[in-house]
């Protein structure tokens, strides 16, 4: 996209964001509008929070340092789940894509595990690994693993047979094929899945903290729900969303670095 068009898009995105904030502020302010949905206009602020109070809560958390220990725990759990799940998915995807016998043998089991709602494993992981960080990481790994695994598996299986034949004709052995053909093909699929995996790694950490924890942003949100402090609930959600976007941006930077060889959209038609 041209720079001018990209700048215009950013302006419109910011304008939409500002409009949503303004609508939230107006609809939850008991003095700006007459009662619309609730009999008591104060109920709207109670059930949906108030943007200024949410912002104030976030500023207070960071200025006082209260949130840092909780945020650190959640980020470490998320990062470990993200890295471990990605590595396992990459290794297993490459192995089964290049091993038809093992793939056929394990196929029904992998499909059964993938169809299982993995959130129900959280209590089991809590019994196995306790209520510390291990159970949250384990849940996050199960969420990340299958997305990466199936993308890598599909990416390797769709490598062009013509490319493989030409590489073998030029004398490439299996190790060279893995390094120069299979892995580059799989990496584009891996990065396509990592953007979704970031959010799921956060889901695993926060759900685990909901079920049992004394630290973490998920724990803060749970405590706020217990006291009907919706402003704190929204503040926790905003903090988690901001850091999820930050991790997604880091994935985008890594994607640009490692997939620099890949042509951008439309470039292949110009050749």
DSSP annotation of 263: P
> For residues 131 and 73, is the Cβ–Cβ distance under 8 A?
no
pLDDT tens-place string over residues 97-120: 878 888 888 888 888 888 888 888
> Across residues 166-184, what is the average pLDDT?
69
pLDDT at 84: 93
pLDDT tens-place string over residues 127-163: 888 878 888 889 889 989 988 888 888 877 766 666 6
| pLDDT higher than 70, residue 237 | yes
> For residues 198 and 247, is the Cβ–Cβ distance under 8 A?
yes
> Across residues 209-225, what is the average pLDDT?
83
| pLDDT higher than 80, residue 41 | no
Q: Nearest Cα to 239, choosing from 250, 251, 228, 247?
A: 247
Of residues 31 and 140, which shows the higher confidence score? 140
Least confident among 79-88, 125-134, 254-263? 254-263
| pLDDT higher than 90, residue 241 | no
pLDDT at 164: 65
pLDDT at 267: 45
Q: From the options 3.40.50.2000, 1.10.3720.10, 3.40.50.920, 3.40.50.970, give the CATH code of 53-266.
A: 1.10.3720.10
Query: Exposed, middle or buried: residue 29 (CB in 10 Å: 0-12, 13-18, 19+)?
Result: middle
With helix as H, strand as E and coil as C, how does 111-141 read?
HHHHHCCHHHHHHHHHHHHCCCHHHHHHHHH
> Across residues 196-212, what is the average pLDDT?
83
C-alpha–C-alpha distance, residues 143 and 182, integer Å: 24
pLDDT at 29: 74
pLDDT at 59: 92
Contacts of the segment 49-57: beta carbons below 8 A, 24+ positions apart: 49/230, 49/231, 49/233, 49/234, 50/25, 50/231, 51/21, 51/24, 51/25, 52/25, 53/231, 54/231, 54/234, 54/235, 54/238, 57/231, 57/232, 57/235
C-alpha–C-alpha distance, residues 11 and 6, integer Å: 9
Q: What angle do CA 260, 264, 270 make, to 5 degrees?
A: 125
C-alpha–C-alpha distance, residues 16 and 10, integer Å: 10
Estimate the crossing angle of helix 100-115 against helix 133-157, to 10 degrees: 130
pLDDT at 34: 59
């Amino acid at each position: 996209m041209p720079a001018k068009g990209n700048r215009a898009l950013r302006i419109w995105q910011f304008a939409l964001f500002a409009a949503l904030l303004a609508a939230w502020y107006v609809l939850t302010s008991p003095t700006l509008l007459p009662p619309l949905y609730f009999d008591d206009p104060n109920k709207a602020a109670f059930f949906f929070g108030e943007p200024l109070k949410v912002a104030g809560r976030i500023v207070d958390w960071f200025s006082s340092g209260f949130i840092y220990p909780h945020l650190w725990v959640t980020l470490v759990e998320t990062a470990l789940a993200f890295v471990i799940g990605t590595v396992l998915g990459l290794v297993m995807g490459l192995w089964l894509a290049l091993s038809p016998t093992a793939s056929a043998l394990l196929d029904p089991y992998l499909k059964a595990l993938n169809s299982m709602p993995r959130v129900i494993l959280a209590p089991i992981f809590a019994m196995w690994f306790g209520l510390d960080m291990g159970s949250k990481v384990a849940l996050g790994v199960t969420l990340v693993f299958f997305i990466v695994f199936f993308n890598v598996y599909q990416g390797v299986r769709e490598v062009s047979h013509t490319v493989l034949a030409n590489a073998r004709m030029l004398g490439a052995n299996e190790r060279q094929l893995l390094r120069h053909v299979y892995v580059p093909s799989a990496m584009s699929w891996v990065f396509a899945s990592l953007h979704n995996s970031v959010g799921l790694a956060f889901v695993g950490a926060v759900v685990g903290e909901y079920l049992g924890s004394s630290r973490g942003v998920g724990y803060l949100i749970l405590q706020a729900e217990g006291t009907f402090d919706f402003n704190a609930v929204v503040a926790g959600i905003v903090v988690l969303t901001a850091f999820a976007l930050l991790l997604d941006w880091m994935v985008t930077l890594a994607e640009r670095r490692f997939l620099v060889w890949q042509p951008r959209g439309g470039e292949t038609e110009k050749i």
